[in-house]
Amino acid sequence: MTLQQGKRRRAAARALVASALLGAFYLLPWLQPGGKPALLLDLTARQFHLFGMQLVPEDAQPLLWLVTACIAALGLLTVLCGRLWCAYICPQTVLTRVFRGLDRLTTFDGIARPLGPLLRHGLWAVIALWTGITFVGYFNPIGQLVQALHPFALNGWECFWIAFYALATWANVAHLHEQVCTHLCPYSRVQHLITDANTPIIQYNAPRGEPRGPRGVGEASVLHRSRGLLDPVTASDYVFRAAHPAIAGAMPKFAPIHLGDCTDCNACLQACPIGLDIRNGHTSNCIECSACIDACDDTMARNQFPEGLIHRAHLADTESTTVRRLRVKPLLFAAMMALSLVLMYLSAGGPL
């Protein structure tokens, strides 16, 4: 797979998943197969409409088991594949990408440039308001809500919840961005409990990249030079010294022939929405969005180096940890998921 194919494949996967999720979110309240809402949580009538099924609160037990099965499935996905939820599926990520798309759309040269921020926030306010209406449309029939907009006949609670969700969407995405992931999201706090040494994470290949430094064009990658890869201890020593100059002192100047593949361009740092320097090591704040991979692969391409200085790999690949054939956490999550599905089936009136 070539560099551009790798980057294009990630971008296409993001666009595909985002379109599917946004399409499902905005369309579901409108769907009425057989004249019945596909998904409506009618709290006033104490009834849940779920794809043709009509449930009352007493029937909620199967739903609780379904939620448990979904949580176990998320754990299984995470331990096997890393934080794909954060990178591709989380509503915060998806909506932030939409907002950044608007940013690019409304940033253009010419007389419209000063209007860009106004246009962007205006468009985002409309999307946020429609998101608020859609949220409330999962609890009140959305057709009636929209009809009540003109002439205006929404009741107080409808106004409150629409305004609440619209404001939350607007502020979360336009102002808080990924700070929500770092400071509010419980999922990132429990990563160390969910994952194991075989879970893929985003990593910087220090033995290949260190010592870092700018160089002229024409130097080959260490993968094609006699220097080759450094041993991991020396590489992590260089990483530490680069990250802590006050403690370790300034790094010596290296001749281009001794430099690793990191050109110290800082593109990975600038691309990171959390402000992390992935070269200093993986942290639980990393949402594995792959922005640093894309940025670094561009730098590698400009220098005609092979891609993958920053890449997705298992900790076991890089920390001489023994790869376990029997992985306990995936088995536990799989068992929890299977058990929850069986209990859901039984509590919904299955045999036994």
Half-sphere exposure of 165 (CA within 13 A, CB side): 17
Nearest approach, Cβ of residue 94 and ligand SF4 (Å): 15
Comparison of 72 and 295: residue with beta carbon closer to ligand SF4? 295
Nearest approach, Cβ of residue 241 and ligand SF4 (Å): 15
Nearest approach, Cβ of residue 80 and ligand SF4 (Å): 18
Nearest approach, Cβ of residue 236 and ligand SF4 (Å): 15
Comparison of 188 and 198: residue with beta carbon closer to ligand SF4? 188
Comparison of 65 and 264: residue with beta carbon closer to ligand SF4? 264
Residue 192, exposed/middle/buried by CB under 10 A (0-12, 13-18, 19+)?
exposed
- Give the residues lining the site for ligand SF4 (CB under 6 A): 202, 204, 209, 212, 262-268, 271-272, 274, 276, 278-279, 286-292, 295-296, 299, 309-310
Nearest approach, Cβ of residue 298 and ligand SF4 (Å): 8
Comparison of 278 and 343: residue with beta carbon closer to ligand SF4? 278
Comparison of 129 and 269: residue with beta carbon closer to ligand SF4? 269
Comparison of 280 and 347: residue with beta carbon closer to ligand SF4? 280
Element (H, E) at 47: strand 47-50
Nearest approach, Cβ of residue 295 and ligand SF4 (Å): 5
